[in-house]
Structure 1
């Protein structure tokens, strides 16, 4: 999904809401676009109001705060669309003829890095706010975790039956793998603003994970 398509999807989702007035839809559309261009922290409510063609007081009347506006933009989209997106990603990976969990992890990591690169502006907004916005974190992380954990569990069960892992409960392996991937992406692409991830570095990252969970006797 390209950046323009992701932005379009967020805007389209907001427009489908029957609870929003025409002014609210304009506010949400303007907010999504400016958040992506300038980042959440660098965007003022006055800029959003000007782009939406409404008074700044209209934003406060409907949403109260900029944080609430962000939540109203992101949460409905992820609640409805993320399960579908996650299923598509895992179907694509599993159909790419992966034979080991190491191959699965490598394809998965490349897939998520490519997605981030294609949608980096809006993705950076979401990741940064998950790190610093407690309300967004408490609402959004369960959606992300639930959908990824279910699907990673399915993949792990397949490879675990083949004896690929050390004798560690599946749920602990899932948490370790997802924690590493989330930390890798957040640190490199958001905190360090480093977009120069090479194939070699992806290989090193995957080997780092596999050395901790691989069955050495296989």
Structure 2
């Protein structure tokens, strides 16, 4: 099992849950696999029931809807695992040859792109639900803020003290970074996955240049 594979991790956590019956665990494990293989929208509760060898009514009785089944899998996993995942990511990124803020950005982007590639189907499910499901956003945003936001703020402050970043509030820098990087990942892996105008290294370099310099052409003398 790859340490970066969310599907395996979610199934493992479901197996350890003491709050679910054997039937519920079977439903959850089957649903995760089918969501990843076929996509959330293309997987029906009847297909899940057939593969899990339970009546479709059993799924409705325990979860009500397919949306609730999805949330019952994703929310507990992220709430329990996000702090550990975030710590591992930042530890791994900072273990690279990170000398300046651009090095940090490059290592972070490479790390997360590799992670999303391995978990593309799950990422697409979470993002699509996150965009349209207010309850999911309300549940997850505090966890993202406490884990990822907190760690990124420390990194930003470190490089600001070194004189590498502009002296504007950390929360503004953080919001702009989240907006660009998050939008970049959503565009690349969810909205426009087939469109690629350059190789990955060049794309990462371009993204970093954009974050650091924007799109204004610098004058020759300045």
Question: Would the TM-score normalized by the shorter structure come out above 0.5?
Answer: yes
Matched, 1:190 2:190: yes
Residue 119 of structure 1 deviates from its aligned partner by 1.4
Name which structure has the greater RCO, CA cutoff 8 Å, separation 6+: 1
What do the CA deviations read for 1:65-111 (whole angstroms, capped 9, x no partner)?
11111110001110111110110110111121211111101110111
1:119–1:69 CA distance, 2 compared to 1 (3 A): same
Report the equivalent of 1:206.
208
Matched, 1:158 2:178: no
Aligned residues of 1:2 and 1:119 also touching (Cα < 8 A)? no
Aligned residues of 1:14 and 1:28 also touching (Cα < 8 A)? yes
**Whole-Å separation in 1 of the counterparts to 2:29 and 2:206:** 40
What are the ranges of 5 or more consecutive residues in structure 2 without an aligned counterpart?
A: none
Report the equivalent of 1:141.
141
Aligned-residue Cα RMSD (Å) equals 1.8
**Whole-Å separation in 2 of the counterparts to 1:204 and 1:20:** 47
What are the ranges of 5 or more consecutive residues in structure 1 without an aligned counterpart?
A: none
Report the equivalent of 2:7.
7
**Whole-Å separation in 1 of the counterparts to 2:144 and 2:131:** 14
Alignment length (residue pairs): 213
Aligned residues of 2:177 and 2:211 also touching (Cα < 8 A)? yes
**Whole-Å separation in 2 of the counterparts to 1:103 and 1:18:** 43
Residue 3 of structure 1 deviates from its aligned partner by 8.8
Aligned residues of 1:3 and 1:119 also touching (Cα < 8 A)? no
TM-score normalised by L of structure 1: 0.92
Report the equivalent of 2:35.
35
Residue 5 of structure 1 deviates from its aligned partner by 3.7
